Structure 1
Amino acid sequence: MEFRALLTQRDEAGEVTNRVERLPIEHLPEGDVLVSVEWAGFNYKDGLCLGGLGNLVRSYPHVGGVDFAGRVIESRDARYHPGQAVILTGWRVGESHWGGFAERARVKADWLVPLPKRLSTRDSMVLGTAGLTVMLAVNRLRLLGIAPQSGEIVVTGAGGGVGSQAVMMLGRLGYRVVAISGRPELAEPLLRLGASEVLGRDAIMTQSGKVLDKERFAGAIDTVGGAMLPELLKKIRSDGAVAAVGNAAGVSFEASVIPFILRGVSLLGINSVTVPYEMRVALWDRLSSLFVAGAYERMVTEIGLAEIPTYAERILAGGVAGRVVINPRR
């Protein structure tokens, strides 16, 4: 039996290529469950992997795709049976283990979760790692007592996959959301998703030279990192918090301790890669109750395997809005 996959190769000179090929099923890595992939998600990390960047992929040839959903073909684990719909996100699949940019995937059973009944496999990949990350961030903010009545929540990088889903989820939960985006053309879609206001990057990045700015936001979900994060911290209200979920603007930042020690601001790190099984099941159940496919559909782009390399370049350049989902049969 053969299956189609986007195969990533690296030659002796270090040049990386990506090409759709037909591979024998025996080429799949070891695992407990064989899955027929119906949909895969597309993330910034996928762009890095396909470009051979960040030292994320150590072994070639490789099949990327950190998210996928589909139906079980074979299982050696009692939790899963043939025909069952499942989701996979995280666990370095698509990096150190072959992922979802293929018609077939073989993975460890512990990495999967059952698909909630309220979601289709396509819906789950519209959400994907982005949705799971947002749900983790929202839960952390809520645990600190940051509720809708606490004040405005700001979302940076609001036009991207994680940012746009944060706008949608926070809006659904009753928060007043201020969306920050460097793309003015996305203002109307973000307002439709649930933003109360859409501002340009200058709303955060105007540097006052002070260690603290006027208190405005009760909390934040920051998908950008880099130089924006310290400017954002200056604008958070007392006992507020910033959930850091991304690094589109860089992995390092220089900040003052003053927001932490004078205002009690918290900086929350969000890691969606190794979330325990029981927690992931609960998170996906909550996501399924909040997600409205029709409300988000205008932010979804559907592509096939052969189009992924083009979108890898676009996402690294900040040129992808919303979520991209992959149909491996195209």
Structure 2
Amino acid sequence: MDSNQVTSYQAFEVTEQDDGSFAQAIVTKDVPSLKEGHVLIKVEYSAINYKDALSSTGNKGVTREYPHVPGIDASGTVLSSSSDEFKAGQQVVVTGHDLGMNTDGGYGQVIHVPESWVHSLPEGFSTQDAAVLGTAGITASLCIDKLLMTGIGPESGPVLVTGATGGVGSIAVALLVDMGFEVYAVSGKADQHERLRALGVTEVFGREELSESNKRPLLKGRWAAAIDTVGGVPLENILKSLMPQGTAAICGLVSSPALAMTVFPFILRGINLVGIDSAEVSSAKKAAMWAFMQEHSSILQGYQDWVTPITLDQLPEYIDRILKGGAAGRTLVKVS
């Protein structure tokens, strides 16, 4: 299929109504003309991320103008390209940048994006694999990359992962276990604890383990490192519980964006707090993270039970589910 044969496509579009509410519908859109330096891609798969759920319900902090097609992940096949690097028929993946935020995203059967956003599909990965990993996999990989950069290795001690049944958390768990780390997990979903153990987690704690504020400036050092997806009080307790020279990589704020604590863990234990931005990270760094996941692609075998496949018309149900904290693992959207 080339772009000359495709004149329209279907997309899950969100529209702002006169009363300020937002409506979701499957609509038919015209394929845009190919701009210089851009690539037209037939989307096969996307996924649901928390940012997609916000965009799909009218969050102006994510998407400023509507109508809009969400979907910060997209994998599929090039229809046409004005780039020397990408040719029609080539399988590719796009994550982050402005895709699905203020540029129509992966919930449409066609996307039109700058060539700098596009990556060739890693060898051995299907378009489905790429979407299952997607932004969540890039984020988890960047977190682990930060741990390694600060000297954390399997010999350093146990690593704690919060939000471990979410997309980022569950992929981080799978990668860390595959690398030989001793992994502990925090999840508020008791019915998913056994699935985490099946991935190789040593012990799973309930959300309440970290949710109570503690005024002490330092707690017993328990963790060599942590990957935190929730922020707020849980992150405060983690930072106070890091061993000397420990590192916490943070990538979420579903609990809170605020931190109320002293600097004592930083200046008495020399700990590191590192932030992760998976959207605007350089193309070269993203390519390195895809190569890292390719190196650990065996995680996909053990991860299949964490993938829920849906179609475009099922998006409203699953968007509502992720906003209410009811989703686990990755929700794969079959677009085309």
Report the TM range for the smaller structure's normalisation.
over 0.9
Does the CA contact (< 8 Å) of 1:30 and 1:106 recur in 2? no
Q: Determine the structure 2 residue equivalent to 1:322.
A: 329
Deviation of 1:317 after TM superposition, in Å, equals 1.1
Match of residue 99, structure 2, among 93, 108, 112: 93
Q: How does 1:60-99 map to 2 (within 5 A)?
A: 60-99=66-105
SS of alignment partner, residue 107 of structure 2: coil
Corresponding residue number in structure 2 for 1:10: 16
Structure 1 segments (4+ residues) deviating >6 Å: 27-31
Give RMSD over aligned pairs: 1.5
Counterpart code for 1:314 = R
Q: Which segments of 5 or more consecutive residues in structure 1 lack a partner in the other structure?
A: none
Equivalent residue, structure 2, for 1:309? 316
How far the C-alpha of 1:36 sits from its partner, in A, is: 0.5
Q: Report the Cα offset of residue 28 of structure 1.
A: 9.2
Give, in whole Å, the separation in 2 of the partners of 1:219 and 1:65: 31
Q: Which residue of 1 aligns with 2:209?
A: 203
| Conservation of the 8 A alpha-carbon contact between 2:177 and 2:183 | yes
Q: Deviations over 1:81-131 (max 9, x none)?
A: 011111111112101101000111110000011111111110011101011
Contact 1:31 1:106 in 2 (8 A): no
- Contact 2:69 2:107 (8 Å CA) reproduced: yes
Query: Aligned pair count?
Result: 329
CA distance in 2, matches of 1:260, 1:228: 17
Give the Cα separation in 1 of the matches to 2:255 and 2:214.
20
Residue 31 of structure 1: how far off its partner (Å) = 6.5
Letter in 1 for 2:324: A
Q: How does 1:1-80 map to 2 (within 5 A)?
A: 1-26=7-32, 32-80=38-86
Mapping 1:281-300, distance limit 5 Å: 281-292=287-298, 293-300=300-307
2:277 corresponds in structure 1 to 271
Match of 2:168 among 155, 162, 171: 162
Q: Could you tell me the TM-score, scaled by structure 2's length? A: 0.95
Identity of aligned residues (%): 38
Q: Extract unaligned runs of 5+ from structure 2.
A: 1-6
For residues 206 and 39 of structure 2, what CA distance do their matches in structure 1 show? Answer: 45
Structure 1 residue 135 displacement after superposition: 0.8
What's the counterpart of residue 134 of structure 2?
128
Instruction: Give the drift of 1:250.
Output: 2.0
